[in-house]
Structure 1
Amino acid sequence: MKYNLYLLYGGKSVEHEISLKTAFTVIQALDYSKFDVYPIYITREGIWCSQGKRTEAVGDLSELKLEPASPDETEASSLGLILSKLLSLKEEKVVMPLLHGTNGEDGTIQGLMELLNVPYVGNGVLSSAMALDKAVTKAIIAQAGIAQTGHLVASFTEWLEDKEAVLEDVEVKIGYPCYVKPASLGSSIGISRCENQDELRNGLEAAYRFDRKIVVEKEVRGREIQVAVKGNEYPRASMPGEFIQEKAFFDFDAKYMDGKLTMSIPAEIPASLTKRIQENAVIAYQALNCSGLARVDFFITPEGQLFLNEVNTLPGFTNFSMYPLMWERTDGTTYAELVEMLIDYAIMRHAEKQLVQYSM
């Protein structure tokens, strides 16, 4: 049975360009004999744009930047028009949100799909919202009994009311070096590594440009190991991988622009440590109510201590990203096969939800 597959990408987010790279890779990998593909581009201003069905892959990423139907199209009118077209199709349909960060990975687009009662790929409303917020994630992970590095949370209001108090709190409870992170962003956007008070002050000012809540973490000396998890009720973890570090931390340019990252898959760690990482990754995945996919990142100290760093519910998903490559090295799953598997998870989850009763 052929499905109508809607790809949502771009978005009103600082991770807009990353979403375009993800969409470009997915479109190249799809089997057009199995899917009628409808790319839907969301501009930086929130305008939803569509040119109907595609019958083949795009030749260049610029082709994905679609134009609004009319110059005076608004965010609300463009959304209404496209949703009416989506709902009017009587054939089977599934949505694949490829929106990283705000307005895509935070539960908002997932809530819209739930209201429309349309199957969609990836995590649900609750898991998306919790996992994107680093402060909430840390609270859930602590309840699950998984070790994390020392951290504190500070709101923008606290910063405006008493900057010196926030600085002192970080210095007393966390110390240097530390990392300042916007609570609800990915791709290392707005993150600073700080070794003194001047750097901390500048790092906080930078992070508050992107979020009203920040997380400050104590630096862990060691290696960062990543593991891919997929599945709904019975998730599986891949073999771990890692980037060979040349920098103190991977900023946005290191991850996406300079092309100098070196991966090691599998990570060169003992089998017993691999098992611990996989077990903790699945525990974290289930604690956050994840489904479909997530990447779980850990720190390992030279003494063998293991700390969970973060859970990413829409990890980098180009053909050179860690998530798909870890599955390829684990069990031979190709990128195209992985995309179809994630679509299958979405359809199965949606079918199960249709069994829920809403009346007595």
Structure 2
Amino acid sequence: MSKKTVAVLFGSISSEHEVSLLSATSVINHIPRDKYDVLMIGITKDGRWLYYTGDVSLIKDGSWETSGCTSPAILSPDRGTKGIAQVTQAGICHIPVDVVFPVLHGEHGEDGTIQGLFEMAGIPYVGCHVLSSAACMDKEVTHILLENAGIPMAPYAVFCLGDLKRFEEIEKHLAQKLGYPMFVKPANTGSSVGVSKAKDKADLLKAVKLGLQYDRKLIVESTIVGDEVECAVLGNEQPIASSVLGEIVPHHEFYDYEGKYLDDSTDLYIPARIPEETTQKIRETAVKAFQVMGCGGLARIDFFACKDGKIILNELNTIPGFTSISMYPKLFEASGISYPDLIDRLITLALHYPED
């Protein structure tokens, strides 16, 4: 059987550009080369698309851009091409692609934007499709859909850019509805970018101003006291949850960007130190949320496991981290699916979407 060609996309203009480089390095290193040929397409912070043919190890620190091993290239939306249009001295060279693996965290990667391009090009791709990507990316929409389906989430309110001029009035409403401390999150970012914990009115104003640097809409949520537990989900029409869950114990104020990617200040426990009954409830709820949101391929779904036995869904991540320390591949590895096999399954799911 002939090998399929996989185009791995990484980088982008997202605030999570650096995380994407780490994840992509790990994904590329684990793609089974006996089954797949790999094309590497990087997107710079200023939005240039480059076909990269150099050493994979240069991706993680960004030095791939100046390696001398790049040439301009884009994913062509022309269905007659179904591949990469590379700009060479001799002109445009078309490189066929069978499937795309987008390792693009955050805006323009997880929000349905790049998925729309794949749809126009008629090329299968790993992960959720346009609507589910957009819905999961917007934390307000996620709240509305999941709560309507009976899945509990933290009490919340929305704060928009235009609300700054009414901060005094809105702060009173938030304090009464949610209580301090409360979390302020940009509605459309991931990896805890722009997220703050506000313990009082002054903190809240700072948190709002920070969050509005990343998004015009913020989600303000009550603080939930409970163990932070993550579940990995895999599949299309018949998704499965990882049999093993992971627990996160941050040493910072909360599980922030630094704790996730830049230091060793977070303890990870696999399996999570929670009762078996709670584990099963989280696994069942994760699959239900995956289906409610119309997800396909993969998602990491984060929960709070409270001491009274209740579980609160925190958020869904449709392109979760794939670094060497990321929970999504680690949870499936602990559940009996190796990293290379997981990548193979994800690509197979993309090629056979929506069937499992």
TM-score in terms of structure 2 length: 0.90
Alignment of 1:23-34 (within 5 A): 23-34=24-35
For the residues of structure 2 that align with 1:188 and 1:61, how far apart are their CA atoms? 20
Give the drift of 1:90. Answer: 7.9
For the residues of structure 1 that align with 2:163 and 2:251, how far apart are their CA atoms? 35
For the residues of structure 1 that align with 2:223 and 2:264, how far apart are their CA atoms? 25
1:189 and 2:188 correspond? no
Matching residue within 320, 325, 334 for 2:330: 325
1:145 and 2:146 correspond? no
The AA in structure 1 aligned to 2:178 is I
Where do 5+ consecutive residues of structure 2 fail to align? Answer: 86-92
Give the drift of 1:197. Answer: 0.2
SS in 2 for 1:185: coil
Alignment of 1:22-171 (within 5 A): 22-51=23-52, 57-58=56-57, 61-62=60-61, 65-66=64-65, 79=74, 86=84, 93-159=98-164, 161-171=165-175
1:267-301: per-residue Cα shift (whole Å, max 9, x none)?
12211111111111011000000000001111122
The AA in structure 1 aligned to 2:173 is D
Give the drift of 1:65. Answer: 2.8
Measured on the aligned residues, the alpha-carbon RMSD in Å equals 2.5
Give the structure 2 partner of residue 204 of structure 1: 208
For the residues of structure 2 that align with 1:339 and 1:31, how far apart are their CA atoms? 8
For the residues of structure 2 that align with 1:68 and 1:45, how far apart are their CA atoms? 17
Judging changes above 3 Å, is the alpha-carbon distance between structure 1 residues 60 and 174 closer, same or farther for their aligned structure 2 residues?
closer
Contact 2:77 2:121 (C-alpha < 8 Å) held by counterparts: no
Give the drift of 1:81. Answer: 7.1
1:228 and 2:247 correspond? no
1:299 and 2:304 correspond? yes
- Normalized per residue, the structure richer in helix is 1
Give the drift of 1:245. Answer: 3.4
Contact 2:98 2:124 (C-alpha < 8 Å) held by counterparts: yes
Judging changes above 3 Å, is the alpha-carbon distance between structure 1 residues 65 and 175 closer, same or farther for their aligned structure 2 residues?
same
SS in 2 for 1:325: helix
Where do 5+ consecutive residues of structure 1 fail to align? Answer: 353-360
Judging changes above 3 Å, is the alpha-carbon distance between structure 1 residues 49 and 82 closer, same or farther for their aligned structure 2 residues?
farther
Contact 1:27 1:58 (C-alpha < 8 Å) held by counterparts: no
> How many percent identity over aligned positions?
39
Judging changes above 3 Å, is the alpha-carbon distance between structure 1 residues 262 and 48 closer, same or farther for their aligned structure 2 residues?
same
Contact 1:179 1:218 (C-alpha < 8 Å) held by counterparts: yes
SS in 2 for 1:162: helix
- Between stretches 79-88 and 140-149, larger displacement belongs to 79-88
Judging changes above 3 Å, is the alpha-carbon distance between structure 1 residues 40 and 80 closer, same or farther for their aligned structure 2 residues?
closer
Contact 1:294 1:311 (C-alpha < 8 Å) held by counterparts: yes
Give the count of matched residue pairs: 343
Contact 2:77 2:118 (C-alpha < 8 Å) held by counterparts: no
Give the drift of 1:261. Answer: 2.4
Give the structure 2 partner of residue 7 of structure 1: 8
1:27-65: per-residue Cα shift (whole Å, max 9, x none)?
11122232221100100010001135x7x7546634763
1:150-176: per-residue Cα shift (whole Å, max 9, x none)?
1111111222x4222222221121110
Contact 2:52 2:64 (C-alpha < 8 Å) held by counterparts: no
Give the structure 2 partner of residue 355 of structure 1: none
Judging changes above 3 Å, is the alpha-carbon distance between structure 1 residues 47 and 149 closer, same or farther for their aligned structure 2 residues?
same
SS in 1 for 2:26: helix
Runs of 4 or more above 4 Å deviation: 80-85, 87-92
For the residues of structure 1 that align with 2:62 and 2:230, how far apart are their CA atoms? 32
- Normalized per residue, the structure richer in strand is 2
Judging changes above 3 Å, is the alpha-carbon distance between structure 1 residues 59 and 65 closer, same or farther for their aligned structure 2 residues?
closer
Judging changes above 3 Å, is the alpha-carbon distance between structure 1 residues 253 and 63 closer, same or farther for their aligned structure 2 residues?
closer
SS in 1 for 2:324: coil
For the residues of structure 1 that align with 2:318 and 2:59, how far apart are their CA atoms? 27
Give the structure 1 partner of residue 219 of structure 2: 215
